[in-house]
């Protein structure tokens, strides 16, 4: 067990790993397309290098490929998956086409806005928001109502929103159902509040975070109905929504957006497409101030 833990710790250092708040399970390796003998040799040499570098023996499954284009013409992007027992981690490395260099990290095309792709994937329409619709800076948070760090972000945003009223804040659900048993139900409750009255969502949002410590899988339904009444919503309409599939579909669509954006833990914030994992107050203020200055 110690050996597997040591190997996996090395793997987490090698690959880009999510935070301790929780990660989505790794997808199965993609089917390998046909490759030329030169490409097959390059993949084999890359596997031999990483095995030697970390001392990964035959008990560690290492899968590399397929080779793909990268922002640097002389490098391939190479997906890598490593499995130790039941633990799996995925990521990518870059291998030079001449087979002499393996690079871990990220490559960027300096002629392209590095956050444009994120802005195209984030899909903020039809989600709870506050602040100017034409704001020059938009903060999108992927959050989980049961996540303690998300409650910390909720408190941090009170300061941020007071300091920067010109910023638009958008909330998107990313419940980590594997570790938070009532998060999905709470997310559906928030969506039901939004659908009945968009402004009431924020009252529901605040009530859930303010009472996070007393919520449980056993009482979450009744608590949500009480929060809905406090927010001025019709209780019968709210209950019907909680039981219908439509609100859950909206929650799942937000979660899918997060997966497409490689959100692996909560909270994850995007400020004009720039990702910030955790979202501490100092980082939020610094990036918002930078974006406001840059947009002038």
How many structural domains does the chain have? Answer: 2
Task: Note the pLDDT tens digit of each residue in 222-256.
Answer: 999 999 999 999 999 999 999 999 999 999 999 99
- Please tell me whether residues 28 and 135 are part of one structural domain: no
Q: Assess if residue 55 is contained within a domain.
A: yes
54 — pLDDT class (breaks 50, 70, 90): confident
Entry pTM = 0.77
- Please tell me whether residues 165 and 264 are part of one structural domain: yes
Supply φ then ψ for residue 191, to 5 degrees.
-65, -40
* Interval 4-32 mean pLDDT: 46
Q: Assess if residue 9 is contained within a domain.
A: no
- Please tell me whether residues 49 and 166 are part of one structural domain: no
- Please tell me whether residues 80 and 154 are part of one structural domain: no
- Please tell me whether residues 29 and 135 are part of one structural domain: no
- Please tell me whether residues 141 and 275 are part of one structural domain: yes
Task: Note the pLDDT tens digit of each residue in 136-152.
Answer: 999 999 999 999 999 99
Inter-CA distances, 166 with 133, 138, 161, 257, 293, Å: 10, 9, 8, 25, 13
Distance CA 108, CA 95 (A): 15
Statement: residue 4 has pLDDT above 60: no
* Interval 249-276 mean pLDDT: 96
Show Cβ contacts of residue 169 under 8 Å, excluding neighbours closer than 6 positions.
Answer: 129, 130, 131, 138, 139, 141, 157, 161
Range of weakest confidence among 19-28, 33-42, 81-90? 19-28
- Please tell me whether residues 99 and 145 are part of one structural domain: no
Distance CA 163, CA 21 (A): 28
Distance CA 167, CA 157 (A): 11
Q: What is the mean pLDDT of the chain?
A: 89
Domain closes at, from 73, 104, 135: 104
Q: Output the pLDDT for position 256.
A: 97
- Please tell me whether residues 83 and 156 are part of one structural domain: no
Q: Output the pLDDT for position 296.
A: 58
Residue 63's domain comprises: 21-104
Q: Which of 206, 195, 192 is nearest to 153 (CA)?
A: 206
Show Cβ contacts of residue 86 under 8 Å, excluding neighbours closer than 6 positions.
Answer: none
- Please tell me whether residues 222 and 289 are part of one structural domain: yes
Domain closes at, from 104, 132, 147: 104
Domain closes at, from 104, 136, 170: 104
Q: Assess if residue 161 is contained within a domain.
A: yes
* Interval 168-176 mean pLDDT: 98
CATH of the domain at 193: 3.40.30.10
- Please tell me whether residues 159 and 92 are part of one structural domain: no
- Please tell me whether residues 159 and 45 are part of one structural domain: no
Statement: residue 28 has pLDDT above 90: no
CATH of the domain at 88: 3.10.450
Q: Output the pLDDT for position 15.
A: 54
- Please tell me whether residues 53 and 88 are part of one structural domain: yes
Q: Assess if residue 227 is contained within a domain.
A: yes
């Amino acid at each position: 067990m110690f050996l597997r833990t040591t190997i996996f710790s090395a793997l987490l250092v090698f690959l880009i790993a999510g935070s301790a708040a929780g990660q989505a399970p790794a997808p199965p390796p993609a089917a390998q397309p046909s490759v030329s003998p030169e490409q097959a040799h390059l993949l084999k040499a890359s596997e031999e290098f990483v095995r030697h570098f970390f001392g990964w023996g035959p008990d560690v499954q290492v899968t590399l490929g397929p080779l793909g284009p990268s922002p640097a013409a002389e490098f391939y992007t190479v997906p890598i998956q490593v499995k130790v027992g039941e633990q799996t981690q995925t990521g990518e490395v870059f291998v030079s086409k001449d087979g002499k260099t393996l690079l871990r990290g990220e490559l960027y095309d300096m002629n392209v806005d590095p956050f444009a792709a994120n802005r195209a994937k984030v899909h903020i329409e039809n989600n709870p928001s506050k602040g100017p619709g034409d704001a020059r800076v938009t903060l999108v948070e992927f959050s989980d109502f049961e996540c303690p760090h998300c409650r910390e972000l909720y408190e941090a945003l009170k300061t941020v929103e007071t300091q920067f009223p010109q910023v638009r804040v958008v909330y998107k659900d990313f419940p980590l159902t594997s570790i938070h048993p009532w998060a999905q139900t709470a997310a559906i409750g928030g969506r039901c509040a939004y659908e009945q009255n968009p402004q009431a969502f924020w009252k529901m949002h605040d009530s859930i975070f303010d009472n996070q410590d007393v919520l449980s899988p056993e009482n979450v339904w009744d608590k949500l109905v009480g929060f809905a009444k406090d927010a001025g919503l019709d209780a019968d309409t709210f209950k019907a929504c909680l039981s219908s599939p439509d609100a859950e579909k909206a929650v799942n669509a937000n979660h899918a957006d997060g997966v497409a954006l490689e959100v692996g833990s909560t909270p994850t914030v995007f400020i004009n497409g720039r990702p910030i994992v955790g979202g501490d107050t100092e980082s939020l203020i610094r990036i918002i101030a930078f974006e406001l200055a840059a947009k002038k």
